[in-house]
Amino acid sequence: MAERGTGASPKPQDLLFALGGALVLEHLDEPVPTRVFLEVLGGLGIAPATTRATLNRLTGRGFLARGQEGRVVSYALTDASRRLLEDGRQRVRAPAPFHQDSDEWTLLSFSLPEAHRDVRHRLRSRLTWLGFGCVRDGLWMAPGLVELDRVLALPAAGPALQIDGFAVRPAPGTDVGRLVRRAWDLPALRREHEEFIARWEGPPASDVDPVAAYTLLGAHWVRLLRQDPVLPQDHLGPDWPAARSADVYRSAAGELEPRARAAFTELMAWARTLR
Protein backbone atom coordinates (compact mmCIF):
# COMPACT_ATOMS: atom_id res chain seq x y z
CA MET A 1 0.00 0.00 0.00
CA ALA A 2 1.79 3.12 -1.22
CA GLU A 3 2.49 6.09 1.03
CA ARG A 4 1.98 9.64 -0.19
CA GLY A 5 2.20 12.94 1.62
CA THR A 6 2.66 11.51 5.10
CA GLY A 7 6.26 12.28 5.99
CA ALA A 8 8.30 9.40 7.36
CA SER A 9 6.61 6.00 7.17
CA PRO A 10 5.40 4.59 10.51
CA LYS A 11 7.74 2.16 12.22
CA PRO A 12 6.68 -1.50 12.45
CA GLN A 13 6.12 -1.08 16.19
CA ASP A 14 3.77 1.85 15.55
CA LEU A 15 1.83 -0.23 13.03
CA LEU A 16 1.50 -3.12 15.49
CA PHE A 17 0.23 -0.81 18.21
CA ALA A 18 -2.20 0.78 15.75
CA LEU A 19 -3.48 -2.65 14.73
CA GLY A 20 -3.76 -3.61 18.39
CA GLY A 21 -5.78 -0.56 19.34
CA ALA A 22 -7.98 -0.64 16.26
CA LEU A 23 -8.83 -4.34 15.99
CA VAL A 24 -6.99 -6.70 18.35
CA LEU A 25 -8.65 -5.17 21.43
CA GLU A 26 -11.93 -6.50 20.04
CA HIS A 27 -10.52 -10.06 20.11
CA LEU A 28 -9.10 -10.17 23.65
CA ASP A 29 -9.99 -13.83 24.13
CA GLU A 30 -8.24 -14.86 20.93
CA PRO A 31 -4.44 -14.88 20.65
CA VAL A 32 -3.47 -13.55 17.23
CA PRO A 33 -1.48 -15.97 15.05
CA THR A 34 1.82 -14.66 13.74
CA ARG A 35 0.48 -15.16 10.23
CA VAL A 36 -2.10 -12.42 10.78
CA PHE A 37 0.57 -9.88 11.69
CA LEU A 38 2.69 -10.96 8.73
CA GLU A 39 -0.23 -10.52 6.34
CA VAL A 40 -1.26 -7.09 7.60
CA LEU A 41 2.21 -5.58 7.89
CA GLY A 42 3.29 -7.29 4.68
CA GLY A 43 0.52 -5.36 2.93
CA LEU A 44 2.18 -2.20 4.25
CA GLY A 45 5.61 -3.10 2.92
CA ILE A 46 7.12 -4.55 6.10
CA ALA A 47 9.29 -7.63 5.56
CA PRO A 48 8.36 -10.80 7.51
CA ALA A 49 11.71 -10.87 9.32
CA THR A 50 11.16 -7.30 10.52
CA THR A 51 7.65 -8.09 11.74
CA ARG A 52 8.86 -11.17 13.63
CA ALA A 53 11.71 -9.22 15.22
CA THR A 54 9.31 -6.48 16.31
CA LEU A 55 6.92 -9.05 17.83
CA ASN A 56 9.82 -10.59 19.75
CA ARG A 57 10.94 -7.17 20.97
CA LEU A 58 7.45 -6.26 22.21
CA THR A 59 7.23 -9.63 23.94
CA GLY A 60 10.51 -8.97 25.69
CA ARG A 61 9.22 -5.59 26.87
CA GLY A 62 6.10 -7.15 28.35
CA PHE A 63 3.56 -5.85 25.81
CA LEU A 64 2.81 -9.23 24.22
CA ALA A 65 2.55 -12.78 25.57
CA ARG A 66 3.78 -15.51 23.23
CA GLY A 67 2.01 -18.86 23.02
CA GLN A 68 2.21 -21.90 20.78
CA GLU A 69 -0.25 -24.61 19.76
CA GLY A 70 1.34 -27.21 17.54
CA ARG A 71 3.37 -25.33 14.99
CA VAL A 72 1.31 -22.15 15.24
CA VAL A 73 2.82 -19.30 17.28
CA SER A 74 0.35 -16.69 18.52
CA TYR A 75 0.53 -13.47 20.53
CA ALA A 76 -1.90 -12.08 23.10
CA LEU A 77 -2.10 -8.64 24.67
CA THR A 78 -0.81 -8.32 28.23
CA ASP A 79 -2.33 -6.19 30.97
CA ALA A 80 0.32 -3.55 30.26
CA SER A 81 -0.45 -3.31 26.55
CA ARG A 82 -4.19 -3.42 27.19
CA ARG A 83 -3.95 -0.43 29.54
CA LEU A 84 -1.77 1.43 27.05
CA LEU A 85 -4.11 0.76 24.12
CA GLU A 86 -7.27 1.57 26.06
CA ASP A 87 -5.75 4.85 27.23
CA GLY A 88 -4.75 5.66 23.66
CA ARG A 89 -8.15 4.70 22.29
CA GLN A 90 -9.85 7.33 24.46
CA ARG A 91 -7.78 10.04 22.82
CA VAL A 92 -7.99 8.52 19.34
CA ARG A 93 -11.79 8.58 19.50
CA ALA A 94 -12.20 11.87 21.37
CA PRO A 95 -14.88 14.05 19.70
CA ALA A 96 -12.72 17.20 19.86
CA PRO A 97 -9.11 15.99 20.20
CA PHE A 98 -7.52 19.38 19.46
CA HIS A 99 -9.78 21.67 21.53
CA GLN A 100 -8.21 23.42 24.51
CA ASP A 101 -10.34 25.69 26.73
CA SER A 102 -8.15 25.88 29.84
CA ASP A 103 -6.09 28.95 30.70
CA GLU A 104 -3.86 26.88 32.99
CA TRP A 105 -0.52 25.30 32.14
CA THR A 106 1.29 22.37 33.70
CA LEU A 107 4.98 22.80 34.42
CA LEU A 108 7.01 19.69 35.07
CA SER A 109 10.59 19.15 36.11
CA PHE A 110 12.29 15.78 36.34
CA SER A 111 15.67 14.48 37.36
CA LEU A 112 17.06 11.15 36.23
CA PRO A 113 20.65 9.89 36.30
CA GLU A 114 22.29 9.44 32.91
CA ALA A 115 22.59 5.71 33.57
CA HIS A 116 18.81 5.38 33.07
CA ARG A 117 18.86 6.32 29.39
CA ASP A 118 16.14 3.86 28.40
CA VAL A 119 13.76 5.19 31.04
CA ARG A 120 14.64 8.76 30.05
CA HIS A 121 13.72 8.02 26.43
CA ARG A 122 10.40 6.43 27.42
CA LEU A 123 9.64 9.30 29.79
CA ARG A 124 10.26 11.88 27.06
CA SER A 125 8.02 9.92 24.71
CA ARG A 126 5.31 9.77 27.37
CA LEU A 127 5.57 13.51 28.01
CA THR A 128 5.22 14.26 24.30
CA TRP A 129 2.12 12.04 24.11
CA LEU A 130 0.60 14.00 27.03
CA GLY A 131 1.17 17.34 25.28
CA PHE A 132 4.39 18.50 26.92
CA GLY A 133 7.06 20.49 25.13
CA CYS A 134 10.60 21.03 26.38
CA VAL A 135 11.27 24.64 27.41
CA ARG A 136 14.80 23.86 28.54
CA ASP A 137 16.64 20.77 29.72
CA GLY A 138 14.63 19.19 32.53
CA LEU A 139 11.74 21.70 32.33
CA TRP A 140 8.61 20.85 30.35
CA MET A 141 5.28 22.62 29.90
CA ALA A 142 1.87 21.48 28.65
CA PRO A 143 -1.40 23.32 28.07
CA GLY A 144 -4.15 22.53 30.56
CA LEU A 145 -3.93 20.44 33.70
CA VAL A 146 -2.06 17.14 33.35
CA GLU A 147 -2.16 14.83 36.37
CA LEU A 148 1.19 13.41 37.44
CA ASP A 149 -0.31 9.92 37.67
CA ARG A 150 -0.62 9.95 33.88
CA VAL A 151 3.04 10.92 33.52
CA LEU A 152 4.09 8.09 35.80
CA ALA A 153 2.11 5.44 33.90
CA LEU A 154 5.28 3.85 32.53
CA PRO A 155 7.76 1.31 33.88
CA ALA A 156 9.19 2.89 37.00
CA ALA A 157 12.81 3.81 37.50
CA GLY A 158 12.44 3.58 41.26
CA PRO A 159 13.69 6.36 43.50
CA ALA A 160 16.17 7.48 40.84
CA LEU A 161 13.34 9.26 38.99
CA GLN A 162 12.22 12.49 40.66
CA ILE A 163 9.31 14.44 39.17
CA ASP A 164 7.76 17.71 40.34
CA GLY A 165 4.68 19.23 38.71
CA PHE A 166 2.82 22.52 39.08
CA ALA A 167 -0.46 23.83 37.68
CA VAL A 168 0.05 27.53 36.94
CA ARG A 169 -1.41 30.61 35.28
CA PRO A 170 1.06 32.98 33.61
CA ALA A 171 1.99 36.05 35.63
CA PRO A 172 1.12 39.41 34.04
CA GLY A 173 3.74 40.41 31.51
CA THR A 174 4.81 36.84 30.70
CA ASP A 175 5.35 36.32 26.99
CA VAL A 176 3.61 32.95 26.76
CA GLY A 177 3.86 33.01 22.97
CA ARG A 178 7.65 33.06 23.20
CA LEU A 179 7.61 30.03 25.49
CA VAL A 180 5.22 28.22 23.14
CA ARG A 181 7.47 28.88 20.15
CA ARG A 182 10.47 27.65 22.15
CA ALA A 183 8.75 24.45 23.25
CA TRP A 184 7.02 23.53 19.96
CA ASP A 185 7.84 23.88 16.27
CA LEU A 186 4.51 25.29 15.07
CA PRO A 187 5.37 25.42 11.33
CA ALA A 188 6.37 21.74 11.47
CA LEU A 189 3.17 20.91 13.34
CA ARG A 190 1.11 22.67 10.66
CA ARG A 191 2.85 20.58 8.00
CA GLU A 192 1.98 17.40 9.92
CA HIS A 193 -1.69 18.34 9.80
CA GLU A 194 -1.57 19.32 6.14
CA GLU A 195 0.16 16.06 5.18
CA PHE A 196 -2.41 14.03 7.10
CA ILE A 197 -5.23 15.84 5.32
CA ALA A 198 -3.59 15.36 1.91
CA ARG A 199 -3.17 11.63 2.54
CA TRP A 200 -6.60 10.77 3.93
CA GLU A 201 -9.09 13.28 2.54
CA GLY A 202 -11.60 11.66 0.20
CA PRO A 203 -13.06 8.15 0.12
CA PRO A 204 -10.65 5.18 0.12
CA ALA A 205 -10.33 3.11 -3.04
CA SER A 206 -12.84 0.28 -3.24
CA ASP A 207 -10.12 -2.33 -3.80
CA VAL A 208 -7.87 -1.26 -0.89
CA ASP A 209 -7.07 -3.84 1.81
CA PRO A 210 -9.29 -2.47 4.60
CA VAL A 211 -7.27 -3.95 7.48
CA ALA A 212 -3.98 -2.55 6.18
CA ALA A 213 -5.56 0.82 5.36
CA TYR A 214 -7.29 1.10 8.75
CA THR A 215 -4.04 0.17 10.51
CA LEU A 216 -2.10 2.78 8.54
CA LEU A 217 -4.77 5.41 9.21
CA GLY A 218 -4.53 4.65 12.93
CA ALA A 219 -0.74 4.91 12.92
CA HIS A 220 -0.82 8.25 11.10
CA TRP A 221 -3.55 9.58 13.41
CA VAL A 222 -1.72 8.55 16.59
CA ARG A 223 1.45 10.19 15.28
CA LEU A 224 -0.48 13.41 14.69
CA LEU A 225 -2.05 13.24 18.15
CA ARG A 226 1.39 12.70 19.65
CA GLN A 227 2.84 15.71 17.83
CA ASP A 228 -0.02 18.13 18.58
CA PRO A 229 0.01 19.40 22.20
CA VAL A 230 -3.51 20.89 21.89
CA LEU A 231 -2.50 24.50 22.39
CA PRO A 232 -5.01 27.29 23.07
CA GLN A 233 -6.28 28.91 19.88
CA ASP A 234 -4.72 32.24 20.91
CA HIS A 235 -1.30 30.82 20.05
CA LEU A 236 -2.34 29.41 16.67
CA GLY A 237 -3.28 31.04 13.38
CA PRO A 238 -6.94 31.59 12.43
CA ASP A 239 -6.60 29.00 9.67
CA TRP A 240 -5.02 26.35 11.90
CA PRO A 241 -5.83 22.99 10.24
CA ALA A 242 -6.39 20.81 13.33
CA ALA A 243 -10.20 20.84 13.19
CA ARG A 244 -10.08 19.84 9.53
CA SER A 245 -7.68 16.99 10.38
CA ALA A 246 -10.19 15.69 12.92
CA ASP A 247 -13.00 15.82 10.33
CA VAL A 248 -10.86 13.97 7.80
CA TYR A 249 -9.98 11.28 10.33
CA ARG A 250 -13.59 10.72 11.35
CA SER A 251 -14.65 10.44 7.72
CA ALA A 252 -11.85 8.01 6.78
CA ALA A 253 -12.36 5.90 9.90
CA GLY A 254 -16.10 5.78 9.30
CA GLU A 255 -15.49 4.43 5.79
CA LEU A 256 -12.82 1.90 6.74
CA GLU A 257 -13.77 0.61 10.20
CA PRO A 258 -16.72 -1.66 9.28
CA ARG A 259 -14.84 -3.18 6.36
CA ALA A 260 -11.69 -3.62 8.45
CA ARG A 261 -13.54 -5.36 11.30
CA ALA A 262 -15.18 -7.83 8.92
CA ALA A 263 -11.93 -8.49 7.05
CA PHE A 264 -9.95 -8.95 10.27
CA THR A 265 -12.46 -11.51 11.55
CA GLU A 266 -12.08 -13.42 8.28
CA LEU A 267 -8.29 -13.16 8.49
CA MET A 268 -8.30 -14.58 12.02
CA ALA A 269 -10.52 -17.47 10.92
CA TRP A 270 -8.25 -18.20 7.94
CA ALA A 271 -5.12 -18.16 10.12
CA ARG A 272 -6.68 -20.70 12.48
CA THR A 273 -7.14 -23.14 9.58
CA LEU A 274 -3.36 -23.24 9.09
CA ARG A 275 -2.80 -25.25 12.27
**Type of residue found at 124:** R
- The backbone torsions φ and ψ at residue 139, rounded to the nearest 5 degrees and listed phi first, read -125, 120
In this structure, the answer to whether residues 87 and 112 fall within a common structural domain is no
- The backbone torsions φ and ψ at residue 89, rounded to the nearest 5 degrees and listed phi first, read -65, -35
What's the pTM? 0.89
In this structure, the answer to whether residues 81 and 197 fall within a common structural domain is yes
Question: Residue 8: its pLDDT value, please?
Answer: 65
Question: Residue 72: its pLDDT value, please?
Answer: 87
Among the residue ranges 116-120, 173-177, 264-268, the one predicted with the least confidence is 116-120
Instruction: Answer yes or no: is pLDDT of 1 > 60.
Output: no
As for how many domains the chain has, the answer is: 2
Give the residue-averaged pLDDT of 200-210.
89
- Using CA atoms, how far apart are residues 168 and 210, in angstroms rounded to an integer? 45
- Using CA atoms, how far apart are residues 18 and 132, in angstroms rounded to an integer? 22
Instruction: Answer yes or no: is pLDDT of 203 > 90.
Output: no
In this structure, the answer to whether residues 68 and 139 fall within a common structural domain is no
Strand locations in 139-274 (E): 139-143, 162-168
Instruction: Answer yes or no: is pLDDT of 206 > 50.
Output: yes
Instruction: Answer yes or no: is pLDDT of 4 > 70.
Output: no
- Using CA atoms, how far apart are residues 3 and 26, in angstroms rounded to an integer? 27
Confidence of residue 3 (pLDDT cuts 50, 70, 90): very low
Instruction: Answer yes or no: is pLDDT of 6 > 60.
Output: no
Give the residue-averaged pLDDT of 258-272.
93
Question: Residue 159: its pLDDT value, please?
Answer: 60
In this structure, the answer to whether residues 73 and 113 fall within a common structural domain is no
In this structure, the answer to whether residues 95 and 191 fall within a common structural domain is yes
Tell me which residue range forms the domain holding 198: 1-99+185-275
Instruction: Answer yes or no: is pLDDT of 5 > 50.
Output: no
What is the chain's mean pLDDT, rounded?
89
Q: Is residue 175 part of a domain?
A: no
The residues with which 143 forms a beta bridge, in sequence order, are: 105
Question: Residue 27: its pLDDT value, please?
Answer: 76
